Amino acid sequence: MAIPSLTRAGDQDPLERERASVARMSAANLVAERHGRYIQARAVATESSGSAQARTEAWLGRMQGWIEGWLKVLALADLKDDVPYSVFEDNLTKLLQGQSDELTALGIEAQSITQLANTALNYIATPADIPNVPDMASYQDTLNLLVRREGELRAMLNDVGHTAENRLEKLGQTDGTSRKAVYGRLKAALLAKGRYPLDQTLAQVDALLSAEKTVDPILARLNGGFTRMNGYNANLAYFHGMEEIVPARKDCTDARTAISKLSSPAGFVSKSKTRVEQLCTGIEKLYADLTGDASITKAQYVGEYLRTEKTRLPTVCPRDVSSPACDKLAVLAALSATDLGQMDDARLRFVELGWSEAMNRALGK
């Protein structure tokens, strides 16, 4: 006698039903992950004062301020103030140094904004393909909207995120043109007013413009190196100091070589030499103070660095925020003194530098 089937007609096979359920769950997970990456990219791109959009807007404001700064230099060159030449030269030197420093800062910030935009782009660079699951058809409009939003965000990041860097070449041209204009404006003022000896003044100002263009970027780099080394010293960032000292020493060598070729204007060159020696000596002293205590092991240095840095973690990476950078920070934060004590120098270096790299990504730098 035939045994009747326990499966009613029209019922789905349990195995097929399970496969369909797994497929739906997999598709839902991919959608959630893709949407999460979009949210992360959007946050880096447009949300908060540290976003690519906000920093670009701030950069454009600074750029306008820099352009207006040249109007002040040109106004000074009109010789409206009846002051001794030494006072005029000192004022001109300060204004030119301010313009040079700001141009250097604009270049650094432009590169940082580009890196930030690229970080956001990486989140949505290769979005996961969503499999064609029949039961997902009712959500197709939502998926299409996500795809469209991703495309809009990519376009925005490729535009706004690279605006600053794309303008740097033009700013360099403006810098050169403005310096020539200062010389021309001064010559016209001297001919009209005869306040200072014409040939001697023009020669001195020409020498100042040339020397300042060489010296000010050098001093800006050295100031940056000193500031960073001072921070590493304060935070016991041993391996950061080791990384910083090599380029800093090269900058010092290059600075001394460049300034040794200058002789005029004497006062400006003398002050520049003194400032270079102050900065280079300061960098070496901070480095020696940071790395010269043999009683502290490198594991202890890294442990103390992490102990201080970990206090920032709850603010930078709240519990409801998940990102690759925050995940890496969580792993490194869990390292104990015992863990660090068992590591060689290469691994300790990886932990310390890896922490700051992940922190910068989490902060959108």
- pLDDT tens-digit series, residues 247-258: 999 999 999 999
Collect all residues with Cβ–Cβ distance below 8 Å to 154 and sequence separation of at least 6: 121, 124
pLDDT at 130: 64
Tell me: do 168 and 308 sit in the same domain.
Answer: no
Positions in the chain whose pLDDT score sits under 50: 1-9
pLDDT at residue 1 in the model:
42
Please give the Cα distance from 254 to 186 (Å, whole number): 32
Same domain, 307 and 358: yes
Q: Does 189 map to a domain? A: yes
Q: Which residues contact 279 (CB under 8 A, 6 or more apart)?
A: 219, 222, 223, 225, 226, 252
Token pair, residue 331, equals 């792993």
Please, are residues 143 and 130 in contact by the beta-carbon 8 Å criterion?
yes
Would residue 163 count as lying in a domain?
Answer: yes
- C-alpha 233/C-alpha 245 separation (Å) is 12
Q: Clarify whether residues 106 and 161 are in a common domain.
A: yes
Which of 259, 275, 292 is the endpoint of a domain?
292
Query: Is 186 found in the same domain as 227?
Result: no
279-282, long-range: CB within 8 Å, 24+ apart, which pairs?
Answer: 279/219, 279/222, 279/223, 279/225, 279/226, 279/252, 280/222, 280/248, 280/252, 280/255, 280/256, 282/226
Share of the chain above pLDDT 70, in %: 88
pLDDT at 365: 66
| CA dist., res. 303 & res. 296, Å (int) | 11
277 shares a domain with 152? no
Q: Are residues 318 and 280 in the same domain?
A: no
Question: Residue 335 is encoded by which pair of tokens?
Answer: 């390292």
Are 178 and 247 contained in the same domain? no
User: Do 79 and 225 sit in the same domain of this protein?
Assistant: no
Same domain, 70 and 164: yes
Asked if residue 314 is part of any domain, the answer here is yes
Domain that holds residue 263: 216-292
φ/ψ bin of 48: left (φ > 0), alpha (ψ from -120 to 50), beta (otherwise): left
Give the count of beta carbons closer than 10 Å to the beta carbon of residue 88. 20
The pLDDT assigned to 36 comes to 80
Residues 30 and 160 in one domain: yes
241 lies in some domain = yes
Contact at 8 Å (CB) between 291 and 242? yes
In a domain, 323, yes or no: yes
Cis ω on the peptide bond leading into residue 4 (within 30° of 0)? Answer: no
Long-range contacts, 164-173 (Cβ 8 Å, 24+): 164/56, 164/59, 164/60, 164/63, 164/106, 164/109, 164/110, 164/113, 164/114, 165/110, 165/111, 165/113, 165/114, 167/63, 167/110, 168/106, 168/107, 168/110, 171/63, 171/66, 171/103, 171/106, 172/103
pLDDT value of residue 307: 93
CA atoms of 244 and 251, how far apart (whole Å): 11
Q: What pTM value is reported for the model? A: 0.71
User: What separation, in Å, do the N-terminal and C-terminal C-alpha atoms of the chain show?
Assistant: 77
On whether residue 5 sits in a domain, the answer given is no
Last residue of a domain, one of 265, 292, 319: 292
Does 15 map to a domain? Answer: no
Q: Are residues 53 and 153 in the same domain?
A: yes
Please check whether residue 233 lies inside any domain of the structure: yes
* 220 and 90 co-located in one domain: no
How far is 157 from 165, CA to CA, in rounded Å? 13
- Last residue in a domain, options 256, 274, 292: 292
User: How many domains does the chain contain in total?
Assistant: 3
